[in-house]
Each structure stands twice: as structure tokens, then as C-alpha cells.
Structure 1
Amino acid sequence: MVADSKSKSDISFAGTFASSAFSACFAEVCTIPLDTAKVRLQLQKQAVAGDVSSLPKYKGMLGTVGTIAREEGLSALWKGIVPGLHRQCLYGGLRIGLYEPVKTFYTGSDHVGDVPLSKKILAAFTTGAVAITVANPTDLVKVRLQAEGKLPPGVPRRYSGSLNAYSSIVRQEGVRALWTGLGPNIARNGIINAAELASYDQVKQTILKIPGFTDNVVTHLFAGLGAGFFAVCIGSPVDVVKSRMMGDSTYKSTLDCFVKTLKNDGPLAFYKGFIPNFGRLGSWNVIMFLTLEQTKKFVKSLESSS
């Protein structure tokens, strides 16, 4: 990600893809416990008045992390890490690697001056939608594994691992089932990618115009936090719908899931898990962008010397 007048990548597409995939995977490993907590909170149903058995099991980000660790062990917080890394290699590499070329396509190769924010948003939405269309199966398996909590004694787990999940879904539900929730996932990832990449690009560009600021770790930190905040505020409702559709196959469509969630749990349900979501996306963006900027410098030096 650059903030110069032409906003062109200074390394090859392959270098950008590899840097993006590595940075996204590193951020995923660091923050997936918060993502697991977010998924559990989003899938949790609203309590029924007078029914003690329906009282929510998970309460808050730290409470959810603590409950999962206590009941299922610390390793349960990293459920879905394997498909999560599969996802980041594909999705993270494509959405960021394609951002600069697509932005140049929308502005024109002869564009001079700052790229309009609208073009940045359009480019980021496009790359997010394309990338998640390819990576949807990995997202589905990740959510399915994260959604499974502690089971009663003698009850077998739905899937023994990520590879078993892929094969079981294809065998039991068909190949098309791997793209369950693609609609809300495209909406969610297109919107969140637009919020993340466009806001990071814009915030970084703005900060670099302030006297005293340079293209360093402090600038990357502020821009990463801004990217995470905008992403959660804008993308939380579609993220909840996506998680519910992937975690529960009874929903007929995106609209059906939206209507039932609104009817049964109320409008605030669309911001369930907001704090862990921001904790996760905020920290994820900071880690990812800081790692990405340093990794791209390293890759650039390798390409320059070759």
C-alpha cells in the first residue's frame, strides 16, 4: 500500500501477493482467538423470557475467551486455524495484491495526483469480492469448526479436522455447499475490504501530508487502527448474517437469515460481538499492515538485487 501521487506498487504482483499472504497469515495466527469468540457470540441465540436454560452462555469478549479456554482447553481458541490460513493465503494475497492494479485500471494509467477516495473504495470492493469468491470454501470450513463448542460425552464431533470438513461437506451436501453464504460473504468482504484498504490508503495519505510524519511504523499503526475501526462499523451486520448462514444450514437465503435474525433477536443482534470484532479486526489490521509494510520492503530489496 502506497500513498504517492500515482499510488503504484513498487514491487511485482508476485512479490505483493506473497507479502500480503504472509502478513495476513501472521495476523490470523495472532488474532484467531478473538475471531473464535466473535463467531460464538454471533451464533448465540437471544435468551427467552422466563427460560433459565436459554440464558446466554457467552458474555463479552474476554468472558467468551475465558469460557472456551476453561471448558474446551486453550487449543479450542485456535479452532479453524488451518482453513483460516488457507483463507488468508488466497483471500489476503488476492485482495491486497490486486488492489493497486485494479485502482490503476479505474483511474487510468495516465492519472496524475491523489487518487479520489471513491476510486479507492471501488477498487477495494472489487478485489474483496473477487478474492472471497475464490476463498469462500475456506471461510465456510473455518466458521463450521469455530462454531462447534463442547460436546456431551460420547457425542462425536461433526468434523475431525479441516480436510475432513471439506470432504464431508462435499460428500453430504454437494460441491455447491462449499459456496454457502457466498452472497453475504461477498457483501461482507467487499464492504470490509473497501473500508480497510481504502481507509488505510486514505488515512496514510492524509497523515503523510502532516509536517513531521514520515512513512514509518507510527504512521502504519494509526492507519491500521483506522482501517480496523471503519471495517467493523460498516461490516458488522453482514458479518453476523454470514456467520449465521455458515454456522446454521437451516437458513434458506441471505434475506431469510436477515429477516429471522431481526425478528427473533432484534436489530442489536447485527452488532453482536462488536467489541471482540473490533478487538480482532483492529489488532488484525495493525499487525497485518505493519507486517506487510516491512515484508514489502524486504521483498523489494530481494527483487532489486536479483
Structure 2
Amino acid sequence: MNCALYSSKKEEIKTGVGMAERPAVSPSGGITPVQQMLASGTGALLTSLFVTPLDVVKIRLQSQSAPFYQGKCFLYCNGLMDHLYVCQNGMRCTTWYNSPTRFSGTLDAFVKILRYEGVRSLWSGLPPTLVMAVPATMIYFTSYDQLRDFLHYRMGCHENQVPLVAGGLARLGAVTVISPLELIRTKMQSRQLSYRELRVCITSAVAQDGWVSLWRGWGPTVLRDVPFSALYWFSYELVKRQLCQGYEVSESTFMMSFTAGAFSGAVAALMTLPFDVVKTRRQIQLGEMEMLTGSPKKPLSTLHMMRKICAESGYRGLFAGLLPRLIKVAPACAVMISSYEFGKTFFERLNRERVLQRM
């Protein structure tokens, strides 16, 4: 995306220069919201393809030290979203969870999985990831661009504040929209419900606890994802702008976007790790309680969960898994944002060519 976009467009709006020549599209890079959704959806797909093998290896390594029991939850994360994968009665996980192969480390796991189980096994967690990651990411990234443009051009907000506010609001909206769908998907997966049984299950839950029951787990997700998003976009826009100024270019390159995305993802992941630890525990806790009891029980609150973790492991427990999270989130953010920016650049050029052809 053009690093001088804000200033150049502000001058055009003030003076009217170039207004007649521009197509009737969004000011966000000269592309429409539909094109933004296509670019972000492609980025989510590429990110999931890249990161899912890392998560599969992580789960396989973890499963060696944890005995298998009837009904088990695993948490897949493609660096963009978390997805609860449920093994009901050991049936769905038998082919990969109960594999007799033993691994001595990450590299050894990659080699042995490829040798004995085939390439497809490294992407065994891809379907549940794509079901939610692609639509959620499309909503999230498109909302961010639209909110950023609105806050900057319509509201006249200060440039440094725009990514913070737009990033937080975009993530809040995406989480709110996706949470009921994620809950429905998890229920279908954990209890093998038909669509009719699912409707009855949801109706009874709403009748008992109200519509708010469809957003169970929304609070901890928001506490982690909204600060992460605000910090990420603030850092990303700042680093990208600095890189453009340092190399004296008006438009960021693919590698500039990749570098800024990796750095910003690492910073945001580090600063929000305690909320991620709590969110992971709560998500698995909810899934396993529902499998064992048939109905979800009220889990510990976020504050109580933090206190419990500190009592068990000290304050270091809130930062457990720092290195694996950084290894996963930083490249995922880099791949996602660079793919998204590349897609936007492609559509921007396509729109310009169409305008020139009409002239």
C-alpha cells in the first residue's frame, strides 16, 4: 500500500485535483471492499497452508507426553485464529493421534511424518482451520481498511491514533460475528449432531440462557484479540512508514510489508501472551466439559483463571509458550499482511488499467 497515501489523498480531497479521473472505488488503495475481501481471503488461505504443518507437528509432539483418553480437545492455531478440534471417543484422531511413530524433536517429526504418513498428514488440521479462518479474516481485514479510511478522511483523526482505534474495532466486530459460528461448528464436531439436532440444541440453549449463550467465550477472546489487533496495526503502520522513509520510496515493497508484519506480530504476541494463555485454557476447558457432561458448565472467569495460573506456576506461567507463539504468530502475520498488500496492489493496478481503457 502507498506509504504517502494519506497525505496525497488529503490534498486531492482539499483541492479536487484528480477527483474526476479516479474510479468510484474505496479510497483504501483505490480498490473496492469486494476486492479487499478477495485479497484478505487469499492471504488467509496462504497463511493457513503455511502455518498448519507447524501446528500439526506441535500437537503430535505434545500428544507423546500426554496419555490419550476418551474425548480429547486440541487447539489448532494458524496465527490468525484458534480452532478447537475435538476427538470424540478417539475415533477421529486415531489415524494421526495414536500413531506409533515416536519423535525426538520438531525436525525429526517433520521428516518421519513425511516418510511414514505422507505429505497430507502435515495438513490434517487444515479443514477446521479454513472453515472459520477465511471468512473471519475477510471480515477483519476489510473492516480495518474501511474503518481506517473513515476515521482518517471523514473524522479527521490523528494519523497515529487511527491504526489503534481501527484495529481494535475491526477485531471486535470480527470476533462478535464469528463467535456464534465457531460455537455451532464446535458443537457439531464434538457431539456429531445432525442439523435438526443442532437446531434443537441451540434453541434449548437460547431458551435457557438467552441469546447471550451463543457468545460463550467471547469475553476472553476479546481481551486477547482486541489489544493484539490494536498493537499490531499501530506497529505495522509505523514500521512500514519508517521503512519507506529509510529507503526513500513512496510505496512499500513485498519484503517491506513482510518485515513490518513479522516485527509487529512478534511485538503484539509478546504483549498479549497472558491473555492468550488464559484464552487457550478456557477454550479447551469448555470443549472438554461439554464432551464429558453433555452441557457446558460455567468456567472460571478470566481474573480467576489468571490467579489460578499464578498460584500454580507463578507469574512465569502467564508467559508460558512464548517461543512457540512467536515462532508461529510472527511468520503468520508476515505472510498474511504481505499477501494482503500484494493482492491490494494487484487490484489497484487492475482498476487503473480499466480506467485508462475507458478514456
Q: Shorter-normalised TM-score: what interval?
A: 0.7 to 0.9
Structure 1 residues 111 and 179: alpha-carbon distance in aligned structure 2, compared to 1, 3 A threshold: closer
Rounded to whole Å, the distance in 2 between the matches of 1:169 and 1:36 is 32
Deviation at 1:185, TM superposition (A): 0.6
Return the letter of the residue paired with 2:32.
S
**Aligned residue in 2 for 1:197:** 233
- Please say if 1:11 is aligned against 2:11: no
**Aligned residue in 1 for 2:301:** 253
Is the 8 Å Cα contact of residues 176 and 218 (structure 2) preserved in structure 1?
yes
TM (norm. structure 1) is: 0.73
Deviation at 1:191, TM superposition (A): 1.5
Q: Which runs of 5+ in 2 are unaligned?
A: 8-26, 67-102, 207-211, 290-298
**Aligned residue in 1 for 2:132:** 87
**Aligned residue in 2 for 1:102:** 147
Deviation at 1:226, TM superposition (A): 1.3
Return the letter of the residue paired with 2:106.
L
Deviation at 1:37, TM superposition (A): 6.1
Residue from 300, 324, 343 that aligns with 1:276: 324
Deviation at 1:124, TM superposition (A): 0.4
**Aligned residue in 2 for 1:130:** 173
Rounded to whole Å, the distance in 2 between the matches of 1:124 and 1:139 is 21
**Aligned residue in 2 for 1:182:** 218
Rounded to whole Å, the distance in 1 between the matches of 2:190 and 2:237 is 42
Rounded to whole Å, the distance in 1 between the matches of 2:262 and 2:351 is 30
Structure 1 residues 233 and 127: alpha-carbon distance in aligned structure 2, compared to 1, 3 A threshold: same
Is the 8 Å Cα contact of residues 254 and 342 (structure 2) preserved in structure 1?
no
Q: Structure 1, residues 161-203: CA drift from partner, whole Å, max 9, x if none?
A: xx879x7798399466653321111121112212222221111
Rounded to whole Å, the distance in 1 between the matches of 2:129 and 2:319 is 22
Residue from 23, 28, 35 that aligns with 2:43: 23
Rounded to whole Å, the distance in 2 between the matches of 1:256 and 1:243 is 14
Deviation at 1:209, TM superposition (A): 1.0
Rounded to whole Å, the distance in 1 between the matches of 2:57 and 2:44 is 19
Q: Which of 1 and 2 has greater Rg?
A: 2
What RMSD, in angstroms, separates the aligned Cα atoms of the two structures?
4.2
**Aligned residue in 2 for 1:221:** 258
Rounded to whole Å, the distance in 2 between the matches of 1:264 and 1:169 is 40
Return the letter of the residue paired with 1:208.
C
**Aligned residue in 1 for 2:336:** 288
Is the 8 Å Cα contact of residues 255 and 338 (structure 2) preserved in structure 1?
no
Deviation at 1:273, TM superposition (A): 2.0
**Aligned residue in 1 for 2:106:** 62
Structure 1 residues 108 and 210: alpha-carbon distance in aligned structure 2, compared to 1, 3 A threshold: same
TM (norm. structure 2) is: 0.63
SS of the residue aligned with 1:193? helix
SS of the residue aligned with 1:227? helix
- Please say if 1:171 is aligned against 2:208: no
**Aligned residue in 1 for 2:70:** none
Structure 1 residues 219 and 36: alpha-carbon distance in aligned structure 2, compared to 1, 3 A threshold: same
The 5 A counterparts of 1:223-242 are 223-242=260-279
**Aligned residue in 1 for 2:13:** none
Q: Structure 1, residues 251-305: CA drift from partner, whole Å, max 9, x if none?
A: 2322232222222233222222222211111111121122112211222344442
Deviation at 1:77, TM superposition (A): 5.1
Rounded to whole Å, the distance in 2 between the matches of 1:13 and 1:25 is 18
Is the 8 Å Cα contact of residues 68 and 76 (structure 1) preserved in structure 2?
no
Q: Structure 1, residues 218-264: CA drift from partner, whole Å, max 9, x if none?
A: 21222121122112112211111111111112523222322222222
Is the 8 Å Cα contact of residues 3 and 252 (structure 2) preserved in structure 1?
no
Rounded to whole Å, the distance in 2 between the matches of 1:237 and 1:67 is 33
SS of the residue aligned with 2:4? coil
SS of the residue aligned with 1:204? helix
Return the letter of the residue paired with 1:190.
V
**Aligned residue in 2 for 1:120:** 163
Q: Which runs of 5+ in 1 are unaligned?
A: 47-58, 146-156
Number of positions where the alignment pairs a residue of Structure 1 with one of Structure 2 = 279
Deviation at 1:27, TM superposition (A): 0.4
After superposing the two structures, state which structure 1 stretch, 2-11 or 26-35, moved more.
Answer: 2-11
Is the 8 Å Cα contact of residues 40 and 138 (structure 2) preserved in structure 1?
yes
